[in-house]
């Protein structure tokens, strides 16, 4: 094992950014309130030209990042809260995702868009979005959803080094979670590879983004009842590691998909469709999705909390298949 | 031979644009062109005047009405025409077509069919040049409609605060599709919007090559010096409909206005007169006219003779670092 250091999910993201900015002079960062962190050395000892604290102009600076990516830079766009991604969605969808294709491969667009998602934090409907399913519908974008500090570092670094536009959707409520994270500056978590977080033979729980913890808690609860759940952390939504899902299903024959995002046309819906098309013969029971129902996220905590998947609802879904 | 290289090359490029657009209009009638085409006829002096002030390695972004921009910057006609016909030899290998006639070889970074979409891209290319420490500049072409997009406002503001080497070049042809600029602009003098961002703004006669060239050259020099962006408004006129072959039921622009511009404001007629007044002879110009005519007919022949792409090639260029998704596997 290579050397590690105990750091938080948030520090792992910062470390990934700093390492990549120090490694490659073409990496720049652009976003709101960046200067505050730059003063603290968050981006390392780099030319201040590469650190752009932008006005509140998400559409403009996201589009500029695309133009910069087409002309030799590797911009990281910090969009902060995921609900703000909508303001930048035109350049992400109409430019970043399409430029390479529309120009017959004349350009690559190595740009990374970062956005953090909140849940159960009383932020109400405009600060609680999980927009990744919408972007899964756009050919040309890659999408990662790290659920651990090591993945936060390794996936963000892989995103920055990738020659396609990559959206990094981070779970804000994991920011304070600590674990041993590899300190090797070339530690990368490859895009498109799921992780088996727990092995089991009875039921597969596919976890999307921050649903990993409740999925593992559900598996622990199920184990007490003699049910061995396998937990697959997808890590990357595009490209999706469908082999990992189908291989696990081959072992268990039962599958639950857990995702904090809304239900309709969500990541869980796509996984369910893939399972139905490519894994139908492996299924002993129908596919179960545990998602947030199609309701705006309310402010009041007693209204908000029950809407999300929990270890209890994930475990209940798994039990219903036994 | 012309004494001044700029004059001769400008005349050639303007004729190339005119001939290219006329050929496309014929090809549309012959049923050879799929999809919509937006003609630049009438706007050649604005386009070429701006492009001639740029170096080959300077960047340029365009619009849905962008056949003229790569030609203005010196692109080869054959791959452009082949792209219009959707051929494998097209500059974008048949992936872009009329509204995305991008030729990276001449610094084009894309033509956006999203109005205003190219403005942040060019601003970002200017940021890139500044960060990399080159002396390249970027020029963004857009129309009078685009200045009402948020992308225009956000880009001009950021270009000004960071003194980015970018020229915002508005081809104000008076109409956003079929809606008059007069009815959509609180401040009808587009160049005056520059005041709001703390950059120079200038209005020029877009039918006059020399005026456009001089104004753009000054803006380019300013950008290259590190003094930041300029907004140029070139007052021009589109001779054809918004879209070639589009039937507009209604008089959104007066017939007399169209006729007046065609009679008195044809940029090629005006430039030819200026060249003759400058001492060039009819035979000097006839040689260039013949070459332009041949270049266009060669491009049409090349495009017609070229093969279409293979359907399976639709899956190329989706990602910079390739992947195959489940849905792509299913489709194959």
Write the ipTM. 0.96
A48 assigned to some structural domain: yes
Look at residue A66 and tell me whether its pLDDT is greater than 80: yes
Distance CA(A218)–CA(A205), nearest Å, equals 9
- Write the pLDDT tens digit of every residue in B29-43: 999 999 889 999 999
Where residue A130 sits, what CATH number does that domain have? 3.40.50.970
B319 and A140: CB-CB below 8 Å?
Answer: yes
> In this structure, are A175 and A203 located in the same domain?
no
- Give the distance from residue A169's alpha carbon to the nearest chain B alpha carbon, in angstroms: 19
Q: Which of A47, A59, A164 comes nearest B320 by C-beta?
A: A164
> In this structure, are A151 and A272 located in the same domain?
no
DSSP states of A193-237: --EEEE--SSEEEEE-GGGHHHHHHHHHHHHHTT--EEEEE--EE
Where residue B19 sits, what CATH number does that domain have? 3.40.50.970
Distance CA(B121)–CA(B110), nearest Å, equals 8
pLDDT of res. A142: 98
**CA distances, A176 to each of A6, A9, A94 (Å):** 12, 6, 35
> In this structure, are A97 and A39 located in the same domain?
yes
pLDDT-above-70 percentage for chain B: 98
Q: Which comes out higher in pLDDT, residue B170 or B182?
A: B170
Report residue B5's pLDDT band, with 50, 70 and 90 as the boundaries: confident
Look at residue B28 and tell me whether its pLDDT is greater than 70: yes
> In this structure, are A230 and A178 located in the same domain?
no
A187 assigned to some structural domain: no
Where residue A219 sits, what CATH number does that domain have? 3.40.50.920
Q: Which comes out higher in pLDDT, residue A315 or B3?
A: A315
> In this structure, are A161 and A13 located in the same domain?
yes
| DSSP state, residue B105 | G
How far is the first Cα of chain B from the last one, in angstroms, to the nearest whole number?
Answer: 56
pLDDT of res. A87: 98
> What count of Cα atoms within 13 Å lies in the side-chain half-sphere of residue A236?
23
A291 assigned to some structural domain: yes
A107 assigned to some structural domain: yes
Boundaries of domain holding B55: 5-331
The whole-chain average pLDDT of chain A stands at 96
pTM of model > 0.90: yes
- Give the distance from residue B111's alpha carbon to the nearest chain A alpha carbon, in angstroms: 9
Look at residue B185 and tell me whether its pLDDT is greater than 90: yes
Look at residue B128 and tell me whether its pLDDT is greater than 80: yes
**CA distances, A134 to each of A85, A86, A137, A141, A265 (Å):** 11, 10, 6, 11, 8
A190 assigned to some structural domain: no
> In this structure, are A13 and A111 located in the same domain?
yes
- Write the pLDDT tens digit of every residue in B270-297: 999 999 999 999 999 999 999 999 999 9
CA A182 from chain centre, in angstroms, equals: 19
The whole-chain average pLDDT of chain B stands at 94
Report residue B323's pLDDT band, with 50, 70 and 90 as the boundaries: confident
B110 and A99: CB-CB below 8 Å?
Answer: yes
Look at residue B26 and tell me whether its pLDDT is greater than 50: yes
Distance CA(B175)–CA(A211), nearest Å, equals 52
Total number of domains constituting chain A: 2
A49 and B130: CB-CB below 8 Å?
Answer: yes
Total number of domains constituting chain B: 1
Report residue B3's pLDDT band, with 50, 70 and 90 as the boundaries: low
B95 and A102: CB-CB below 8 Å?
Answer: yes
Look at residue B1 and tell me whether its pLDDT is greater than 50: no
> In this structure, are A89 and A169 located in the same domain?
yes
A49 assigned to some structural domain: yes
A189 assigned to some structural domain: no
> In this structure, are A135 and A207 located in the same domain?
no
Looking at residues B60-87, what average pLDDT do you find?
A: 97
Q: Which of B124, B138, B154 comes nearest A65 by C-beta?
A: B124
**Residue length, chain A?**
322
Domain boundary among A118, A153, A182: A182
CB contacts < 8 A (A, B): 171
The one catalytic residue among A52, A74, A119, A127: A127
Q: Which of A192, A28, A33 is nearest to A110 (CA)?
A: A28
> In this structure, are A174 and A223 located in the same domain?
no
pLDDT of res. A1: 56
- Write the pLDDT tens digit of every residue in B46-55: 999 999 999 9
- Give the distance from residue B81's alpha carbon to the nearest chain A alpha carbon, in angstroms: 15
Q: Are B323 and A142 in contact (CB under 8 A)?
A: yes
> In this structure, are A232 and A283 located in the same domain?
yes
A293 assigned to some structural domain: yes
Distance CA(B251)–CA(B257), nearest Å, equals 11
Q: Which comes out higher in pLDDT, residue A120 or A181?
A: A181
> In this structure, are A125 and A20 located in the same domain?
yes
Q: By CB neighbour count within 10 A (0-12 exposed, 13-18 middle, 19+ buried), where does A151 fall? A: buried
Asked about A262 being catalytic, the answer comes back as no
Residues in CB range of A114: below 8 A, 6 or more apart: A13, A31, A76, A77, A78, A79, A156, A168, A170
Looking at residues B100-111, what average pLDDT do you find?
A: 95
Helices (H) and strands (E) in chain B, counts: 11, 8
Q: Which of A57, A66, A140 comes nearest B318 by C-beta?
A: A140
> In this structure, are A172 and A201 located in the same domain?
no
Q: Which of A319, A320, A321, A310 is nearest to A225 (CA)?
A: A319
A104 and B157: CB-CB below 8 Å?
Answer: no
Distance CA(A238)–CA(A159), nearest Å, equals 12
Helices (H) and strands (E) in chain A, counts: 12, 14
Show residues of chain B in contact with A240, CB under 8 Å: 325-326
Boundaries of domain holding A295: 195-319
**CA distances, B324 to each of A100, A122, B212 (Å):** 16, 39, 48
- Give the distance from residue A277's alpha carbon to the nearest chain B alpha carbon, in angstroms: 10
Report residue B332's pLDDT band, with 50, 70 and 90 as the boundaries: low
A99 and B317: CB-CB below 8 Å?
Answer: no
- Write the pLDDT tens digit of every residue in A187-241: 999 999 999 999 999 999 999 999 999 999 999 999 999 999 999 999 999 999 9
B111: region left, alpha or beta (phi > 0 left; psi from -120 to 50 alpha): beta
pLDDT of res. B279: 93
Look at residue A129 and tell me whether its pLDDT is greater than 90: yes
């Amino acid at each position: 094992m290579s050397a590690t250091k105990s750091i938080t999910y948030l520090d792992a993201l910062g470390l990934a950014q700093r390492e990549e900015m120090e490694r490659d002079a073409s990496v720049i960062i652009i976003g709101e309130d960046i200067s505050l962190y730059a003063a603290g050395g968050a981006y390392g000892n780099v030319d201040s030209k590469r650190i752009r604290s932008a006005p509140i102009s998400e559409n403009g600076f996201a589009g500029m990042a695309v133009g910069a990516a087409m002309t030799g830079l590797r911009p990281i766009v910090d969009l902060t809260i995921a609900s703000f991604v909508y303001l930048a969605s035109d350049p992400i969808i109409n430019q970043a995702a399409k430029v390479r294709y529309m120009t017959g491969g004349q350009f690559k667009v190595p740009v990374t868009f970062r956005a953090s998602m909140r849940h159960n934090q009383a932020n109400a409907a405009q600060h609680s979005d999980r927009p990744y399913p919408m972007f899964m519908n756009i050919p040309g974008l890659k999408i990662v959803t790290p659920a651990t500090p090591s993945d936060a570092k390794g996936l963000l670094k892989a995103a920055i080094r990738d020659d396609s536009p990559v959206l990094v959707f981070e779970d804000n409520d994991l920011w304070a979670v600590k674990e041993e994270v590899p300190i090797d500056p070339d530690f990368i978590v490859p895009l498109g590879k799921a992780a088996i977080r727990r092995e089991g033979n009875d039921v597969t729980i596919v976890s999307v983004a921050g649903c990993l913890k409740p999925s593992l808690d559900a598996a622990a609860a199920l184990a007490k009842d003699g049910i061995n759940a396998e937990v697959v952390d997808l890590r990357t939504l595009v490209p999706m590691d469908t082999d990992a899902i189908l291989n696990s299903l081959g072992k268990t024959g039962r599958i639950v998909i857990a995702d904090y995002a809304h239900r309709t046309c969500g990541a869980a819906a796509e996984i369910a469709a893939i399972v139905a098309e490519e894994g139908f013969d492996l299924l002993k029971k129908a596919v179960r999705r545990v998602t947030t129902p199609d309701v705006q996220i309310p402010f009041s905590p007693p209204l908000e909390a029950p809407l999300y998947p929990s270890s209890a609802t994930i475990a209940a879904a798994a039990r219903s298949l036994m | 031979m012309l004494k001044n290289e700029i004059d001769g090359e400008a005349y050639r490029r303007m004729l190339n644009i005119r001939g290219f657009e006329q050929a496309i209009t014929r090809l549309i009638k012959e049923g050879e062109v799929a999809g919509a085409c937006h003609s630049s006829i009438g706007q050649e002096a604005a386009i070429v005047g701006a492009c001639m002030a740029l170096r080959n390695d300077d960047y340029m972004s365009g619009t849905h009405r962008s056949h003229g921009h790569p030609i203005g910057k010196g692109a080869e006609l054959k791959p452009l025409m082949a792209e219009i016909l959707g051929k494998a030899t097209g500059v974008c290998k048949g992936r872009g077509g009329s509204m995305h006639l991008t030729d990276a070889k001449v610094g084009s970074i894309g033509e956006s069919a999203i109005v205003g979409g190219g403005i942040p891209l060019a601003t970002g290319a200017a940021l890139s040049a500044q960060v990399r420490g080159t002396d390249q500049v970027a020029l963004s072409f857009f129309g009078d409609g685009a200045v009402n997009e948020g992308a225009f406002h956000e880009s001009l503001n950021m270009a000004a605060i960071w003194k980015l080497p970018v020229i915002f070049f508005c081809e104000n042809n008076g109409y956003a599709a079929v809606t008059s600029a007069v009815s959509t602009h609180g401040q009808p003098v587009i160049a005056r919007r520059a005041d709001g961002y703390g950059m120079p703004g200038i209005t020029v006669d877009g039918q006059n090559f020399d005026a456009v060239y001089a104004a753009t050259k000054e803006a380019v020099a300013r950008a290259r010096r590190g003094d930041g962006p300029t907004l140029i408004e070139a007052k021009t006129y589109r001779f054809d409909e918004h879209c070639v072959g589009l039937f507009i039921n209604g008089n959104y622009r007066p017939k007399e206005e169209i006729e007046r511009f065609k009679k008195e404001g044809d940029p090629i007629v005006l430039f030819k007169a200026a060249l003759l007044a400058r001492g060039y002879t009819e035979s000097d110009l006839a040689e260039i006219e013949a070459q332009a005519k041949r270049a266009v007919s060669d491009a049409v022949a090349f495009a017609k003779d070229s093969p279409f792409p293979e359907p399976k090639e639709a899956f190329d260029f989706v990602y910079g670092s390739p992947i195959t998704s489940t849905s792509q596997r299913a489709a194959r």
